[in-house]
Structure 1
């Protein structure tokens, strides 16, 4: 099937060409990256202010190492989330939008894992300092389990209950 301008439609349901689909996917990916970048920047800002607090000097060696790992992770995540923009800026005139979207989606998936570790690690460090090491480790494990459930198990459950066209399987049975 062809569109009005002669391009092949790859998604008849949406009436989209490959280029239109890539543009839509890029736009959605940018929105997701904006949210992730904001969260990463907030956590990084929090981490960057810690050395200027009076109690920072009281951290033990493990807490300092965890802190430095979290600072590095926050910086790497910031760069990682900017990588799709750099990729787009470098390649956008080469008509490679589909490839840019595919590569950027992989980067965002990796950044999601990093964001989960950063959030859980930061909360763990705070609990370690305020309550104790056992509480810090418990918070780390609980938050990583919660992230796993919400980001992996829950989407799998939703996907299993839906059909490819987005209609819930049990809704189709009832009609």
Structure 2
């Protein structure tokens, strides 16, 4: 059975969904993505919060304590941004704002991922300074920052740029 090229080309590409259906689908996808990031940042933040109560914490110098404080603040900010979409959705549910909610939640998620990148980098710097000393810690942390930024932001941005433009409604 053969299909003519003309019929394949004339078929619409993408999904045939209403704006509301698209918003619902995007919302479910966003929630799945946020669950992964939330779990990671919450475990990291819990670990960071417990460090203060260990004996070794008292031995940290001023620079390492400052890095620790920055790391905890970044972790808390990341947690807030990544939990934000849930709260946002809860407050506007039933107000016919699903497409706008998805946009704002998406922005909060990207902000949370940026803050998570900074949190992980800062935590790595602190750990590597304690383990390796000052010199090696900065090089390794810088390399890992570049790796995470590439995986989380640069590669998706490159793929998005290379993808063909699609009409807004699909």
Structure 1's 118 and 13: CA in aligned 2 closer, same or farther, altered over 3 A?
Answer: same
Structure 1: distance between partners of 2:13 and 2:95: 26
RMSD, matched Cα: 1.8
Which residue does the alignment assign to 2:5? none
- Unpaired runs of 5+ residues, structure 2, are 1-11
Q: Tell me how far apart the structure 1 counterparts of residues 138 and 128 of structure 2 sit (CA, whole Å).
A: 8
How do 1:18-167 residues align onto structure 2 when only pairs under 5 Å count?
A: 18-159=19-160, 162-163=163-164
In the TM superposition, residue 30 of structure 1 has moved relative to its aligned partner by 0.5
What is the TM-score when the length of structure 1 is the normalising length?
Answer: 0.81
Aligned residues: 155
User: Which range is displaced more, 27-36 or 137-146?
Assistant: 137-146
Offset from partner CA, 1:127-147 (integer Å, 9 cap, x none)? 001111222222221111112
TM-score, length basis structure 2: 0.83
- The separation in 1 between residues aligned to 2:62 and 2:24, in whole angstroms, is 48
Provide the rounded CA distance (Å) in 1 between the counterparts of 2:51 and 2:110. Answer: 28
Q: C-alpha displacement at 1:164, in angstroms?
A: 5.1
Range with bigger deviation, 140-149 or 117-126: 140-149
RCO (CA 8 Å, sep 6+): is it higher in 1 or 2?
2
Say if 1:120 and 1:139, in contact at 8 Å, map to a contact too. Answer: no
Structure 1 residues 158, 12: closer, same or farther in 2, change over 3 A?
A: closer
